[in-house]
Amino acid sequence: MVEGFTDLGFARVDTDRRKRCGFPEVIFGFGKTPEQVAAIARVILKKDPVLLVSRATPAQYEAVLTAFHEARWHEQARCITVERPALPKLNGTIAVVCAGTSDLPVAEEAAVSLELFGNEVDRIVDVGVAGIHRLIAVKEQIEAANVVIVVAGMEGALPSAVAGLVSKPVIAVPTSIGYGASFGGVAALLGMLNSCGSGVTVVNIDNGFGAAYAASQINRLAQPPTPAT
């Protein structure tokens, strides 16, 4: 366990992460200067082929773009990605199911992260429980995925309904969409933690990235063994 990191003074970049955990370190953009983000990005991309900056700002994007012309800015998802080359594509899809239009930014953070990690994404938008026929209409489409990410704000009831309809692992992402007694996503979070739908697991409020990371880990497990290897 000697070393395995690069000390930049303001950051100790975990260059050993991909070997241990399967994916390189991801930069949490919040509260970092553009210069810090770019410097960390350089260390990561020296060893690993892809980069993800979550909760990023346009200024951080500019700094990364200067260093890496392949950098892309995902407006709605507030993410920076670099792929050179892309990770190998995995079999099967991951469904990202979204309760309402207002939940889209969090769903996009999940989708962008999933695609960077090599997954194919099936986006299904606006199937909240107040019009349950919309959800039932896509039941087979969801069942066809290997993993299901369900993004919902307000009362966060959608994961319970989805978990009761399909046999695949459901990862629930509460969003801060709502007002008053939604308490910035707490109502949705509690709803999901208390889900009567068996097997729902939950990540932090607005944490599309975290759900994507877990779903990618699961999807890798679901890959057929590579023949003759």
| Residues 177 to 216 in contact with a copy of itself, rule: CB under 8 A | 177-207, 209-211, 213-214, 216
Q: Please report, as a single letter, which amino acid is at residue 102.
A: S
All residues at 6 or more sequence positions from 171 whose CB lies less than 8 Å from its CB, including other chains: 147, 148, 149, 150, 200, 201, 202, 203, 211, 214, 215
Among 73, 83, 134, 141, binds a copy of itself (CB under 8 A): 134
**By CB under 8 A, residue 168 contacts a copy of itself:** yes
Q: How far is the CB of 44 from a copy of itself (least distance, A)?
A: 13
Site for a copy of itself in 55-94 (CB under 8 A): 55
Among 66, 75, 86, 132, binds a copy of itself (CB under 8 A): 132
Q: Which is nearer to a copy of itself, 54 or 82 (CB)?
A: 54
Site for a copy of itself in 138-167 (CB under 8 A): 146-147, 154-157, 160-161, 163-167
Closest to 204 in 3D by CA, of 221, 188, 226, 220: 188
Q: How many residues bind a copy of itself (CB under 8 A)?
A: 104
**8 Å CB contact between 215 and 114:** yes
Site for a copy of itself in 21-60 (CB under 8 A): 21-23, 25-26, 28, 30-32, 36, 40, 55
Site for a copy of itself in 102-131 (CB under 8 A): 102, 104, 125-131
DSSP letter string, 168-216:
S-EEEEE-S---GGGGGGHHHHHHHHT-SSTTEEE--TT-HHHHHHHHH
Q: How far is the CB of 20 from a copy of itself (least distance, A)?
A: 6
All residues at 6 or more sequence positions from 45 whose CB lies less than 8 Å from its CB, including other chains: 51, 68, 82, 84
Among 1, 88, 226, 227, binds a copy of itself (CB under 8 A): 1
User: Which tokens go with 2?
Assistant: 């000697």
**8 Å CB contact between 171 and 147:** yes
Q: Which is nearer to a copy of itself, 33 or 69 (CB)?
A: 33
- 3-state DSSP: the chain helix, strand, coil percent, rounded to 5? 40, 20, 40
Q: Which is nearer to a copy of itself, 53 or 69 (CB)?
A: 53
Q: How far is the CB of 88 from a copy of itself (least distance, A)?
A: 16
